[in-house]
Structure formats: C-alpha cells, structure tokens
Amino acid sequence: MSKVGIIDYGGGNLRSLSRAVESLGYAVNLVSKPADMDGLTHLLFPGQGAYGDCLQKLQNRDLVKASLQWIAEDKPFFGICVGYQLLFSGSEEAPEQEGFNVVDGHVVKFRSDTLKVPHMGWNSLQVTDPSHAIWKGLPEDPYFYFVHSYYPVEVEASVQAGSCNYGEDFTACVIRGNLLATQFHPEKSQDNGLRLLKNFLEL
C-alpha cells in the first residue's frame, strides 16, 4: 500500500488535496521537515501563492534539498501549480531566486491585452502520449482546473506530457520517470483530477 506524503511548508492547498487523496482510500502524512519523508512511497507538493515566498518557506524548513534528493532517486513526486513551476530554473515572479532546476525551462508571466490574467477556470489538456499509464481511464483531451498567472517556456521536449492553450500554447504537464508535475490543480478538477491522482498513487 502506498504511503503518501504532502509537503507542508506553511502554505499551499493542503486541505483540498488531503481530502482528495483521502477520498481515494489513502492516509495522508504531512511533511514539514526532511525526517517526515522517511518511509513514504509517494510525495505531493501543492504549491500555491507567490514563487519566491514558497521557495523561501521551503528553504526555511530544509525541504529544498530533501525534495531534490527525493526527485534524484526517481521516487514518485507530483508537483502542482507553483510546485510545478519550482521545478524549472527560475521565474520572472522572483528573478533573484533560483528554482529547483531539475527540468529545463523557465517561468514567465502571461502578457496579453485581451486575456484575463490570472488564467482561471477549466481548460482542456492536449496529451502528448495518451498510452502512458498516468492517463489511464481519462477521456481524450481531458479538462482540468487552472489558476495561474505564470507558465513555463522553453521546456525540454523529452518531458512535455501535455499542453494547454490560453492565448498561446504552453506546457501544462511534464513527466520524467516517476516525476509528474502539472500547472493545473487535480484536487479541484473533480472526476478527472481524482483519476489522475489515483493513477499517480498507483505508480
């Protein structure tokens, strides 16, 4: 049985993600220090709020190095929203801060005179490889819920797993081994989100 941890850095959407995981029959273990990762099989990172603030809070709890070690060992890791953006080299939102830098690419803000920013609401995901186990049981071009003002660019092609269009196409999901990360919120995406979480927790 999977033993699931959710990173608690003093922010993030802990409650709704915890409820979603628990609804699938899993107990949730909150991770607020590196030792809390001991014995876990799956780790979720529900980033929410400002990039720099999120990164600073992780650093204050010594969770950056521990998370990087987890990812380096290819243990199942699911980064969500800002938890997705932190995987890249950095963000325009906090140019003085260096990201995790485990996936090639950097994060920029939407620039549009016609679109509302933040991008908020339901949008379809164009999946790169529908045969991948993470999409099992999901419809073609599944809809998920987004809330964000920033998105990654120049993402390495080998990890691009799904794209979304909001004025322009952008990479909204990456997969590398047991690393999964999404710009959208699965815990707010009803049946499609729960199915994606279930598939991840069965890795």
pTM: 0.96
How many Å is the Cα radius of gyration of the chain? 16
At 16 the pLDDT is 94
Residue 79's domain is classified under what CATH number?
A: 3.40.50.880
Burial 134-150 (b: 16+ CB within 10 A, else e): bbeebeeebbbbbebeb
pLDDT single digits (tens) 112-123: 888 899 999 999
Residue 45, both tokens: 């990172």
Q: Are 2 and 49 within 8 A, CB to CB?
A: no
Q: Is 93 a catalytic residue?
A: no
Identified catalytic residue from 54, 81, 164, 173: 81
Q: In Å, how far are 49, 114, 196, 200 from 167, measured between CA atoms?
A: 23, 9, 25, 29
Q: Which of 42, 148, 173, 187 is catalytic?
A: 187
- Annotation says 42 is catalytic: no
Buried b (16+ CB within 10 A) or exposed e, 110-126: beeeeeeeebeeebbbe
187 given a catalytic annotation = yes
Range of the domain at 43: 4-201
**pLDDT in tens for each of the 203 residues of the chain?**
799 999 999 876 789 999 999 999 999 999 999 999 999 999 999 978 899 999 999 999 999 999 999 999 999 999 999 999 999 999 999 999 999 999 999 999 998 888 899 999 999 999 999 999 999 999 999 999 999 999 999 999 999 999 999 999 999 999 999 999 999 999 999 999 999 999 999 99
Q: Cα separations (Å) of 133 from 43, 175, 198?
A: 18, 11, 11
Catalytic residue chosen out of the listed positions 42, 119, 148, 185:
185
Q: Cβ neighbours of residue 139 under 8 Å, at least 6 residues apart?
A: 192
**What is the total count of domains within the chain?**
1
The encoded tokens of residue 70 equal: 């987890």
pLDDT of residue 48: 81
pLDDT tens digits for 64-97? 999 999 999 999 999 999 999 999 999 999 999 9
- The enclosing H or E element of 173 equals strand 169-176
What pLDDT is stored for residue 77 in this prediction?
98
38, exposed or middle or buried, with CB in 10 Å at 0-12, 13-18, 19+? exposed
